[in-house]
Amino acid sequence: MSDTAAPEQFDVAYLLLSGTTTASRAAELLRGLLALGFRSVIALPTLNASRIIAPRELADIEGVQVVESYFDQAIRPRPPRGVVMFAPCSFNSLNKLASGIADNLALSVAAEAIGRGTPVIVGPSLNQPLLDHPVAQASLATLARWGVTVIAPVDDGRGPRLAPSEELLSVARRFACGE
Protein backbone atom coordinates (compact mmCIF):
# COMPACT_ATOMS: atom_id res chain seq x y z
CA MET A 1 0.00 0.00 0.00
CA SER A 2 1.31 3.46 -0.91
CA ASP A 3 1.98 6.08 1.76
CA THR A 4 1.12 8.86 -0.65
CA ALA A 5 -2.57 9.66 -0.65
CA ALA A 6 -4.15 11.20 -3.71
CA PRO A 7 -4.40 14.98 -3.33
CA GLU A 8 -7.77 16.49 -2.52
CA GLN A 9 -9.73 17.40 -5.64
CA PHE A 10 -11.41 20.79 -6.11
CA ASP A 11 -13.93 22.21 -8.55
CA VAL A 12 -12.95 25.84 -7.78
CA ALA A 13 -9.73 27.54 -8.84
CA TYR A 14 -8.58 31.07 -8.15
CA LEU A 15 -6.12 33.08 -10.19
CA LEU A 16 -4.73 35.94 -8.13
CA LEU A 17 -2.55 38.34 -10.03
CA SER A 18 -0.46 41.28 -9.04
CA GLY A 19 0.82 44.18 -11.08
CA THR A 20 3.83 42.98 -13.01
CA THR A 21 4.33 43.00 -16.76
CA THR A 22 3.55 39.29 -16.88
CA ALA A 23 -0.02 39.98 -15.68
CA SER A 24 -0.74 40.17 -19.39
CA ARG A 25 -0.59 36.34 -19.38
CA ALA A 26 -3.65 36.10 -17.10
CA ALA A 27 -6.08 35.22 -19.88
CA GLU A 28 -3.86 32.30 -20.95
CA LEU A 29 -3.70 31.01 -17.37
CA LEU A 30 -7.45 31.38 -16.88
CA ARG A 31 -8.19 29.45 -20.07
CA GLY A 32 -5.75 26.80 -18.91
CA LEU A 33 -7.50 26.43 -15.55
CA LEU A 34 -10.84 26.07 -17.31
CA ALA A 35 -9.38 23.42 -19.63
CA LEU A 36 -8.27 21.42 -16.58
CA GLY A 37 -11.91 20.99 -15.65
CA PHE A 38 -12.38 23.42 -12.78
CA ARG A 39 -16.10 24.23 -12.81
CA SER A 40 -15.60 27.65 -11.27
CA VAL A 41 -12.61 29.87 -12.03
CA ILE A 42 -12.36 33.12 -10.14
CA ALA A 43 -9.93 35.87 -11.12
CA LEU A 44 -8.82 38.36 -8.45
CA PRO A 45 -6.57 41.08 -9.83
CA THR A 46 -4.93 43.50 -7.43
CA LEU A 47 -5.36 47.19 -8.12
CA ASN A 48 -1.92 47.29 -9.75
CA ALA A 49 -2.72 44.25 -11.90
CA SER A 50 -5.80 46.10 -13.17
CA ARG A 51 -3.41 48.71 -14.55
CA ILE A 52 -1.72 46.03 -16.68
CA ILE A 53 -4.76 44.07 -17.82
CA ALA A 54 -8.33 45.36 -17.72
CA PRO A 55 -10.64 43.23 -15.57
CA ARG A 56 -13.19 43.28 -18.41
CA GLU A 57 -10.69 41.37 -20.57
CA LEU A 58 -10.67 38.66 -17.92
CA ALA A 59 -14.45 38.78 -17.50
CA ASP A 60 -14.89 38.25 -21.26
CA ILE A 61 -13.49 34.72 -20.91
CA GLU A 62 -16.49 32.40 -20.73
CA GLY A 63 -16.57 30.59 -17.40
CA VAL A 64 -14.45 33.13 -15.51
CA GLN A 65 -15.79 35.30 -12.70
CA VAL A 66 -13.81 38.44 -11.92
CA VAL A 67 -14.02 39.48 -8.29
CA GLU A 68 -12.89 42.93 -7.23
CA SER A 69 -14.74 43.34 -3.94
CA TYR A 70 -15.03 41.52 -0.64
CA PHE A 71 -18.80 41.78 -1.17
CA ASP A 72 -18.96 39.96 -4.51
CA GLN A 73 -21.49 37.13 -4.40
CA ALA A 74 -18.94 34.63 -5.78
CA ILE A 75 -16.94 34.75 -2.55
CA ARG A 76 -19.63 35.43 0.06
CA PRO A 77 -19.96 34.67 2.88
CA ARG A 78 -16.47 33.17 2.60
CA PRO A 79 -14.39 32.27 -0.45
CA PRO A 80 -15.20 28.66 -1.39
CA ARG A 81 -12.49 26.04 -0.91
CA GLY A 82 -10.35 25.77 -3.98
CA VAL A 83 -6.91 25.79 -5.49
CA VAL A 84 -5.26 29.21 -5.31
CA MET A 85 -2.74 30.20 -7.96
CA PHE A 86 -1.00 33.53 -7.37
CA ALA A 87 0.67 34.21 -10.71
CA PRO A 88 2.20 36.55 -11.38
CA CYS A 89 3.17 37.35 -7.82
CA SER A 90 5.16 40.56 -7.52
CA PHE A 91 7.98 41.29 -5.07
CA ASN A 92 5.57 43.35 -2.98
CA SER A 93 2.84 40.67 -2.88
CA LEU A 94 5.34 37.87 -2.25
CA ASN A 95 6.77 39.59 0.80
CA LYS A 96 3.39 40.65 2.14
CA LEU A 97 2.04 37.11 1.79
CA ALA A 98 5.02 35.62 3.66
CA SER A 99 4.62 38.29 6.37
CA GLY A 100 0.94 37.58 6.87
CA ILE A 101 -0.15 40.94 5.49
CA ALA A 102 -3.52 40.75 3.77
CA ASP A 103 -4.25 44.34 2.83
CA ASN A 104 -6.09 43.56 -0.39
CA LEU A 105 -8.55 40.93 -1.55
CA ALA A 106 -6.02 38.78 -3.42
CA LEU A 107 -3.71 38.57 -0.41
CA SER A 108 -6.67 37.88 1.89
CA VAL A 109 -7.81 34.93 -0.24
CA ALA A 110 -4.26 33.54 -0.40
CA ALA A 111 -3.75 33.96 3.35
CA GLU A 112 -7.02 32.21 4.09
CA ALA A 113 -6.10 29.31 1.79
CA ILE A 114 -2.74 28.93 3.53
CA GLY A 115 -4.47 29.00 6.90
CA ARG A 116 -6.96 26.31 6.01
CA GLY A 117 -4.44 24.12 4.23
CA THR A 118 -5.83 24.22 0.71
CA PRO A 119 -3.33 24.17 -2.17
CA VAL A 120 -1.58 27.46 -2.93
CA ILE A 121 0.67 27.82 -5.96
CA VAL A 122 2.83 30.94 -6.20
CA GLY A 123 4.53 32.00 -9.41
CA PRO A 124 6.86 34.89 -8.58
CA SER A 125 7.58 37.30 -11.40
CA LEU A 126 10.76 39.03 -10.29
CA ASN A 127 13.83 40.35 -12.02
CA GLN A 128 17.21 38.99 -10.86
CA PRO A 129 18.02 41.74 -8.32
CA LEU A 130 14.58 41.37 -6.71
CA LEU A 131 14.83 37.58 -6.79
CA ASP A 132 18.25 37.80 -5.11
CA HIS A 133 17.02 40.24 -2.44
CA PRO A 134 17.41 38.74 1.05
CA VAL A 135 13.78 39.47 1.95
CA ALA A 136 12.50 37.74 -1.20
CA GLN A 137 14.68 34.71 -0.49
CA ALA A 138 13.39 34.58 3.10
CA SER A 139 9.79 34.93 1.86
CA LEU A 140 10.22 32.10 -0.66
CA ALA A 141 11.64 29.85 2.08
CA THR A 142 8.81 30.79 4.48
CA LEU A 143 6.12 30.01 1.92
CA ALA A 144 7.74 26.66 1.10
CA ARG A 145 7.83 25.78 4.83
CA TRP A 146 4.10 26.55 4.98
CA GLY A 147 3.40 24.05 2.21
CA VAL A 148 2.96 26.59 -0.58
CA THR A 149 4.18 25.35 -3.96
CA VAL A 150 6.53 27.96 -5.39
CA ILE A 151 7.23 27.76 -9.12
CA ALA A 152 10.48 29.60 -9.66
CA PRO A 153 10.83 32.21 -12.39
CA VAL A 154 12.52 31.10 -15.59
CA ASP A 155 15.28 33.05 -17.31
CA ASP A 156 14.79 32.89 -21.05
CA GLY A 157 17.81 35.08 -21.73
CA ARG A 158 16.02 38.33 -20.94
CA GLY A 159 16.18 37.86 -17.18
CA PRO A 160 13.82 36.00 -14.86
CA ARG A 161 10.19 35.92 -15.87
CA LEU A 162 7.07 34.15 -14.66
CA ALA A 163 7.42 30.40 -15.21
CA PRO A 164 5.79 29.01 -18.36
CA SER A 165 2.02 28.62 -18.11
CA GLU A 166 2.30 24.88 -18.77
CA GLU A 167 4.52 24.50 -15.69
CA LEU A 168 2.13 26.47 -13.48
CA LEU A 169 -0.91 24.60 -14.78
CA SER A 170 0.73 21.19 -14.34
CA VAL A 171 0.75 21.78 -10.58
CA ALA A 172 -2.92 22.85 -10.58
CA ARG A 173 -3.81 19.77 -12.64
CA ARG A 174 -3.17 17.49 -9.64
CA PHE A 175 -6.05 19.13 -7.76
CA ALA A 176 -8.62 19.50 -10.56
CA CYS A 177 -11.71 17.35 -10.19
CA GLY A 178 -12.22 17.49 -13.95
CA GLU A 179 -8.99 15.67 -14.83
Cβ atoms < 10 Å from Cβ of 139:
23
In a domain, 7, yes or no: no
Cis peptide before 77 (omega within 30 of 0): yes
In a domain, 178, yes or no: no
In a domain, 109, yes or no: yes
Residue by residue, pLDDT tens for the chain (179 residues) are 445 677 889 999 999 999 998 999 999 999 999 999 999 999 999 999 999 989 899 999 999 999 988 888 888 888 889 999 999 999 999 999 999 999 999 999 999 999 999 999 999 999 889 999 999 999 999 999 999 999 999 877 776 689 999 999 999 999 998 65
In a domain, 3, yes or no: no
In a domain, 179, yes or no: no
Contacts 24+ apart (CB under 8 A), 132-138: 133/91, 135/95, 136/91, 136/94, 136/95, 138/98
User: CATH number, domain at 78?
Assistant: 3.40.50.1950
In a domain, 2, yes or no: no
Q: What angle do CA 133, 20, 77 make, to 5 degrees?
A: 105
Asked if residues 18 and 44 have their Cβ atoms less than 8 Å apart, the reply is no
In a domain, 115, yes or no: yes
Ordered strands of the 120-124 beta sheet: 64-66, 40-45, 12-17, 83-89, 120-124, 149-150
Quote the pLDDT of residue 155.
Answer: 79
Asked if residues 165 and 24 have their Cβ atoms less than 8 Å apart, the reply is no
Q: How many domains is the chain built from? A: 1
Longest C-alpha distance within the chain, in Å? Answer: 51
Q: Taking the complete model, does pTM exceed 0.85, yes or no?
A: yes
* DSSP helix/strand/coil, 41: strand
In terms of residue numbers, what domain contains 121? Answer: 12-173
